[in-house]
Structure 1
Amino acid sequence: MSPTENISKANEALYPDVAAVPLMVHVVAPATLPAGYTFEAQVNEDPEKTFTVEVPSTGVNEGDSFLAPLPENFDAPRLNAPTGRWKDGLFNFCSLGFCHPHLWCAMCCPQILMAQVMTRMNLNWLGIPGPVTSTKNTFKVVVALVVAYMIYSQALSYASLAYDPEYVPGYIAALRAIGATVFSVWTLYSLCKTRENVRAMYSINEENCVGCEDLCCSFWCSCCTVAQLARHTGDYEMYQGACCTETGLPEGSPHVV
């Protein structure tokens, strides 16, 4: 039995209420092409993973990224996740146990867990799809941003120790506020775009706050949101979670596609 058939049967058994919705993948147009044109696309620029893509009705320009359905007969190992709905709810963060790595990453440093999801989905550090050259180092870039912000914050804290609390220069507070704002805005934007792209890939419609659900979830409950994304794209029922790998899964685990 092929990997695709295994995944289909597993989804039917685990999620019987989900209709057969194809998994969507991001494809980069190799040239400016008219609607209806077909060409052979590669998954993650792997020449051994090719499938036929039809250009959407709007046509595409060279370098454009668009979503295309992955054929049912696409035969390659990949992670198991339902399409058409979330694997579980937003607040099911303890469903895998209180000691699961994804839960602790979500609570202690959600940006790191977000980076792992981005890496699985081939997104860049802003949560936007792109060619492998722009997404292969996403985890390293996000870790560097987190570490840089921590050093920046600590440096300002140490600088303020030289003054009495009531005489701390205003520029230190201003720099601290600017850094926190920039870091928070980046986190919010990147998580929002990551959730948006996960929904698009798995054909999951918005259920609440239609039109701004991704923003609302990312703003009001970022830890729960990134944990849900990790569970949906992680296949933790099959593969053990890991805190310190680029995908949050053991080395050698299959990709989302």
Structure 2
Amino acid sequence: MTAPLMQLDALRVDVPERPAGDALGCCFEAGQTWAILGPNGAGKTTLLMTLAGLRPPRSGTVLLDETPLHRMPRRRAARRLGVLFQHHHDGFPATVRETALMGRHPHLRSWELEGPDDFDAADAALARVGLTELADRSVQTLSGGERQRLALATLLTQDPALLLLDEPTNHLDLHHQIAMLDLIRTEVADGRCTVMATHDINLAARYCSHVLLLYPDGAACWGAVATMLSVPALERLYRQPLAAGTVDGLPVFLPRTGA
């Protein structure tokens, strides 16, 4: 049996001013796409930052390739996992191509310059997200949606096995939301794993194989998408009455409004 890419061993995230919640024991395996669902303040972003090694957990351990993440050298970890944040801050002027090239840094030795293969990887990633014509433009001239697509291109250039995505469809119009998720689905089919925080139940139903539900009180449950996305579970999660239907053989959830 193939070992999971990442395993959560009795993990409790450290959400400020909230008691310790349920311990998480998920395993993220190649070929899976996980959605993290929960209302605002439930700890979705905090969990992703903990999985990325950017925040210490309150207790428990994150294992990456069966090694405790906090003991793994950062460069080695960056070759295996990559993060797409919800917000982007451009600290210095750079072109779109130069920004995508930053994804190659974990694969280079100290002070080593990018080579032809690195430039090819960046250009290929830009082509996949439809930004080839903007390669020489300054990042600071991009729209929010273009910047989000560039963030994905940078992640693809990095070439990690595990993708941690915080609201990956943020800033994107409907067409580019679907294009991004189709691209992520292709990556997963090629043997990667994706864990993404999202507010969109219907996109989770369409694109994800597994779901992790985070409740504001720290409770959590997880499992296959078919068993987790039920009206009672989601109504409890969001404290919102829902109606469910089916489109193209997949469940669709809509909020019920008061009479």
Q: Structure 2-normalised TM-score?
A: 0.24
Higher helix share: 1
Higher strand share: 2
Q: Structure 1-normalised TM-score?
A: 0.24
